Structure 1
Amino acid sequence: MKRKRPIGLKIIVAYKAVLFLLLILTVVVLLLALNNHSRLIAFSESYILESKLSLIEEFVEAVINKFFAQQPNTIRDSAILAGVYALVTAVEIIGLWYQKVWAEFLVLILIGLSIPLEIYELAKGITLLKLAVFMVNIAVFLYLLRFVIKKARVHKR
């Protein structure tokens, strides 16, 4: 008999799927930037030199300068890490969708390990995005913990 997926589990899978798509997009952008690093630097320098900077252009300039201050190795390493994280996220999604116990524990462990890092990031400076990610991860962690404990109690009987 097919087990019905709880709504909370479906929401977590959807959240992880969005994260997976963002990670894949990040990998693609980083690899494109790496392949065109010298041309992008030349373009950004000529664009910035030719324009009179407004507030929006100043922000864009700051982002471009920060990004291109990175060495190609750093961009490559970031793409590799994002790719590995995307693969792990895909494994989590598949395991959770099929309600595998190992996937529930994998997600619990990985989110549990990320929470102290997120607290550290929040201590350095709170932004809406950091706070939102932290709150969602806390909610996912607590839901899965409760779900796993409840499931263990049912199987014990």
Structure 2
Amino acid sequence: MGIPIAVGVGFIVMGLLAMGAAAEVLIRGRREAAASVAAPGVVVDVRRMTGRAGWIYFPVVQFRAPSGKLMTVASRIGSQPPQHQVGQPITVHFPAERPQSAEIEAPVVLWMIPVGFAVVGLVFAGAGALMVLVFGLAAMSG
């Protein structure tokens, strides 16, 4: 087996690993979402922090935990431009035993990482398959 074919097989393996990682991240995220408690909240503040390309805006949300305690949490999910306004209703999710770990509902975040891994995996596997096909045919013909 020539070097180009071996590289192609390596690309296929890396692509399959990336697609497996995508599946794992997606399954873990969906499992965590299914086990979490959802609560209605309201944005009480929007904090801004310096990012590489300017300001990033993070909502601060207030909600009631199942115990009845009023909780205030700052989201770790920020955006540029700001996606939330003070007074805006929003849903938060958290583990039942840790309402202080609440995070805003953000479906795009749940899907962005697995889709990214899957796309990278498909590109690598496709490139590897093409390399194996092209260099394999070339080796067979002469």
TM-score range relative to shorter protein: 0.3 to 0.5
By relative contact order (CA 8 Å, sep 6+), the higher-ranking structure is 2
Determine which structure has the larger strand proportion and give its number: 2
- The normalised TM-score by structure 2 is 0.40
> Which TM-score applies when normalising by structure 1?
0.37
